[in-house]
Amino acid sequence: MEKSKHGKRNNREDGSTGRGHGKGRPSGSSMKMNPGGMKNENALQPPNASTSAMNVIRKKVDPETAKYFLEISNLFDNKEIDLEDRSTICANALEETKGKELELVTDGVISHTLQILVQGCELEQLCMFLRSCIQSFAVIAMDKFGSHVAEAALKALATHLEDDTSRVIVEEILNRICKVIAADATNVMCSCYGSHVLRTLLCLCKGVPFDSLQDFHMTKRSAVLAERLSGGSSRPGDQNLTSFQHGFPDMFKTFVRQMLQNAKNDISTLLTEKNSSLVLQTVLKLSAGDDDELNHIIAVLLGYDEDDTAQKKDYSEQKNKIVALLEDTAYSHLLEVIIDVAPEELRSNMLIGTLKGALFAISSHHCGNYVVQALISSAKTADQVYHSLHSEVSSEFC
């Protein structure tokens, strides 16, 4: 196959352009829905979870297409591309993915090239590529290789948010992606690859700046403890939320509610699964300062799915369950974040109704002790609550 200067395939002798599979070549994607086939090893299937993206069959990319993208990759690796030609080459190469996006983004070699292409093309070509991938976006997000392409594409979208005209286009694409992900929320959250892509998507919807992405993806407990010991604030709610200048707050809220609604039957699994717990922690951190949304989210996570009832419930009925779950690392991380971001009234009810009387036992556990630290840190301005905590824990040492 001969390549042109701008990365576009020249017509072959049979008159075709090189797009598709060509005459006589069998078609097929690398990942086809297969209800009776093999399972996607990257996805955890909780009870009643959707199976729309669970069962897939992989097929190899046809040799001609693989050769084409190898040549494109070599152009970038050998630095043979002029800066002014870069976007044109990226656009032409993305054109060649039409009809076989899924098999290409999930290919271990070609996916690396596609990451470069989606980051180097113009918004129009990026959106055309994503529109072709949207119905398979959940599958791509849960794939070992596809997830990197998905994340690169989302980050590329974020670079266009400051322009008002571009924002309209980006918003339309994000809305469609969010609907696809929300429809298969449980599987995406529980996938080690899907979880990472989903956290990036949530940050993009909220408008988190690039340099702050990692703060919302994951926070090391050692860093949080150091902040508390230094007398500073580690609470996400204390961050400057006005820095989220280029997000889509209404889209973010709708997306979160749709995910929780669709995953409602699997909440008990999501609380204790490492990857889904990280997603829920990100949701909570990004919702900090929005008391109405936090009351709804926390109510669902603690087993109450009615709006505006979280702060009014008697949490004592949940005490044994919550205390037992605190021995789980993923759940204790999640409850720590819940305490950090919860509105004051809700936090006080949780403390008095749920954890009072069990604080010493919890503080002695290698996971639960972080939750007690979060309670103490958050209670510094509430004398009654603080003294209740102090007296219960300190009395055990007297």
Residue 340 lies in a domain: yes
Residue 120 lies in a domain: yes
Domain co-membership, 118 together with 205: yes
| Res. 316 pLDDT band, cuts 50 70 90 | low
What rounded mean pLDDT belongs to the chain?
78
**pLDDT digit string, tens, across residues 257-281:** 999 999 999 999 999 999 999 999 9
Domain co-membership, 189 together with 291: no
Q: What number of other Cβ atoms are within 10 A of residue 72's Cβ? A: 23
| pTM, full prediction | 0.80
**pLDDT digit string, tens, across residues 95-133:** 999 999 999 999 999 999 999 999 999 999 999 999 999
Number of independent structural domains in the chain: 2
Name the one residue in this structure whose structure tokens are 């699997």.
266
**Cα dist. 73→4, 84, 120, 150, 312 in Å?**
14, 17, 13, 18, 59
Domain co-membership, 130 together with 192: yes
Looking at the chain, the whole-number percentage of residues with pLDDT higher than 70 is 69
Domain co-membership, 253 together with 297: no
Res 46 pLDDT > 90: no
Domain co-membership, 156 together with 56: yes
| Res. 33 pLDDT band, cuts 50 70 90 | very low
**pLDDT digit string, tens, across residues 85-98:** 888 999 999 999 99
More confident residue, 232 or 327: 327
Q: What are the DSSP E strand ranges found in the chain?
A: 32-33, 56-57
Domain co-membership, 157 together with 90: yes
Res 36 pLDDT > 50: no
Res 228 pLDDT > 60: no
Domain co-membership, 7 together with 120: yes
Domain hosting 82: range is: 1-212+244-262
| Res. 302 pLDDT band, cuts 50 70 90 | confident
**Cα dist. 91→97, 98, 102, 116 in Å?**
10, 12, 18, 11
Domain co-membership, 201 together with 88: yes
Res 341 pLDDT > 60: yes
Lowest pLDDT segment from 28-42, 110-124, 158-172, 216-230: 28-42
Long-range contacts from 6-15, C-beta under 8 angstroms, 24+ separation: 6/85, 6/88, 6/89, 6/92, 7/72, 7/75, 7/88, 7/89, 7/90, 7/92, 7/93, 8/92, 8/95, 9/68, 9/96
